[in-house]
Structure 1
């Protein structure tokens, strides 16, 4: 029913014309406001291009950078914990019990954690702290620094590249 409704809306927007991807993006809301979940999954699985695109979309949809930073922090913290469990031989059902997670969620986090080294996760968390401070106009040394939405967006993109691209 929802699909039919959206198709009718699109047909009224361009009667007899061709509907473009931009028309769809402008008129059809996300079925699941899950681009934040998709963004976190792209970060967790270290897909920088997808994470970058989704971050831009979230910021364009007026999601505050501080919200993204908080969500990223939580996901990275979960990955650190899962990585520690995996490194000590805990996985599958034992991970579900140890972390008190639903099996699907535990499996997903385990798959993501395996894509990261412990050092890589720590570097990502350190960079995230700098991003968080920068978004609030604070430098690492505690002094104030100039901030703006474009600057903060660029800082997020830099963090994504530095954290998600393979070290080389």
Structure 2
């Protein structure tokens, strides 16, 4: 009689990975609400499995509409011995049948199968998630990139991975222009990487994406912070005339002023301040140059008028356009030329 199959040993300790460096394993959990990063992580695992075995059999299941026994059926060895890749989406809405089958599978995963599980967040299936982590399988946490510093790091990494150069100012301009949605930001990086003959500078970013609402907002803010009231107001009126919402325009002003205020109150070298504030060193250096043109009173006055404009454009005023224009005028005239 054949000897009983010995279960494959599992990793001894919990293992975290990023969407950029995750590698195939018997079980891989891709968690978190950021769909774009989740897709990139799953694409990476799939590409590596296919590179190692071009004949791999790929099966996709949905945990919310899962039929009992489907997992065992799809991971079972085939007559021709192809490796199996099973991708399961929708774990955040998993039904009880999937939970039971997945927990059973974790105890004895198939040696020639890779099971990739996508959980979009929430508490549903916590018992399974805990079992995966306790088993030491790779776990990728895909959280939204909310801070500009994280988006700047993302863009920099995209260009580095493609062995292409992008100027720091161009990185900032790109995040300002298309940073509202990560998938759009990634697509913009891919477009620039494909089209740029050498490196990418801010002029190229402006040529491609300067018409975006986010870009227009920061053009207004840049002109106001430079003390150029005529340019700031004409850019603002053009932005409003082409459909820009006053809310992101005020948000751009507030973002610039917050950066100045943080740097103005910080002590140490630019690299030390960058570490303290979680900012890029070049952004700190830029803010240090800009803050020299401001008096403390002028900076406080500008922050106050921007806070008032923020409240007004969000419903406290019947004339949000005037509120933005007033804020831009006060900021531009508070700068020492």
TM-score relative to the length of structure 1: 0.63
Greater strand proportion:
2
The CA distance in 2 between the partners of 1:127 and 1:156, in whole Å, is 9
Q: Tell me the equivalent position of 2:323.
A: 155
Deviation at 1:127, TM superposition (A): 0.9
Deviation at 1:79, TM superposition (A): 1.0
Q: Is the 2:223–2:229 contact (alpha carbons within 8 Å) kept by the matching residues of 1?
A: yes
Q: What does 1:65-80 correspond to in 2, within 5 Å?
A: 65-80=246-261
Question: Structure 1 residues 97 and 40, CA, compared in 2 at 3 Å: closer, same or farther?
Answer: same
Q: Tell me the equivalent position of 1:36.
A: 217
The CA distance in 2 between the partners of 1:135 and 1:50, in whole Å, is 22
Greater helix proportion:
1
1:46 aligns with 2:46: no
Q: Is the 1:46–1:115 contact (alpha carbons within 8 Å) kept by the matching residues of 2?
A: no
The CA distance in 2 between the partners of 1:137 and 1:101, in whole Å, is 32
Q: CA offsets, 1:98-152, max 9 Å, x none? A: 32322322222222222222222221121112212222342xxxxxx5x1xxx32
Q: Is the 2:254–2:303 contact (alpha carbons within 8 Å) kept by the matching residues of 1?
A: yes
The CA distance in 2 between the partners of 1:67 and 1:163, in whole Å, is 16
Q: Tell me the equivalent position of 1:107.
A: 285
Question: Structure 1 residues 59 and 104, CA, compared in 2 at 3 Å: closer, same or farther?
Answer: same
Structure having greater relative contact order (Cα 8 Å, sep ≥ 6): 1
1:116 aligns with 2:294: yes
Unmatched segments (≥5 aa) in structure 2: 1-205
Q: Is the 1:48–1:165 contact (alpha carbons within 8 Å) kept by the matching residues of 2?
A: yes
Q: Tell me the equivalent position of 1:95.
A: 273
Aligned residues, how many? 127
Task: Specify the structure having the higher radius of gyration (Cα).
Answer: 2
Q: 2:305 aligns with which of 127, 145, 153?
A: 127
The CA distance in 2 between the partners of 1:42 and 1:71, in whole Å, is 12
